[in-house]
Amino acid sequence: MMGKRCVSVILFEGFQLLDVFGPVELLSAVPDLFEVRFIGPGRGPVASSQGISVSVTDSRDGAAEPDIVLVPGGRGTRSLVQQRSFLAWLTGFARSAPLITSVCTGSAVLAAAGLLDGYRATSNKRAFDWVMTNGEHVHWVPQARWVEDRNRWTSSGVAAGMDMTAALIRHLHGAEVAQAVTDYIEFEVHADPAWDPFAYGIDPA
């Protein structure tokens, strides 16, 4: 077992609050195993799509090399996938990370940056058609709570990010640690990554 892992959460204007703080709630329950850093475009706070601003710990140009990258979804992803300078930065920042993860439409951002090329991935089902337009070399999985493909982990919407994070903790530190975390926050986990009641009406082709 390696030491404490640095989890770099990528913040941007219009991110989905629970895409970030659902996973962070789990990760912060074991502070001896994970250090969470909030990466923003500058040093100032970043506004979520819910109107709540979050303080950053590191600017993009000063962020330390991550062990785990987490990209949330949110309305802001629609413009973020068009920002070439941001995508170039994300590609360089994340490419060598041992684990690259996303929640909801964060997978569209990873795909637009080329970080999901050749990987299986999923996303929020209500935005699935749009998400797929950002990654023609991605094998999109329309029915999945989350998808693990080597060192890429992507989840469906909001609450699915917490299930994925619980699975990731279990993957890295074992079932006992993961159970202790979910018991501590009284969180009932959906442990089956294929459980996806929200995938109806999506073309599996």
User: Could you give the residue numbers annotated as active site?
Assistant: 104
The C-alpha atoms of residue 129 and residue 142 are separated, in whole angstroms, by 10
Q: What is the DSSP letter of 63?
A: P
Q: What is the enclosing helix (H) or strand (E) of 102?
A: strand 99-102
For residue 57, give Cα distances in angstroms to 6, 11, 12, 97, 159: 12, 10, 13, 19, 25
Q: Cβ atoms within 10 A of the Cβ of 139, count?
A: 14
Q: Which of 199, 10, 201 is nearest to 102 (CA)?
A: 10
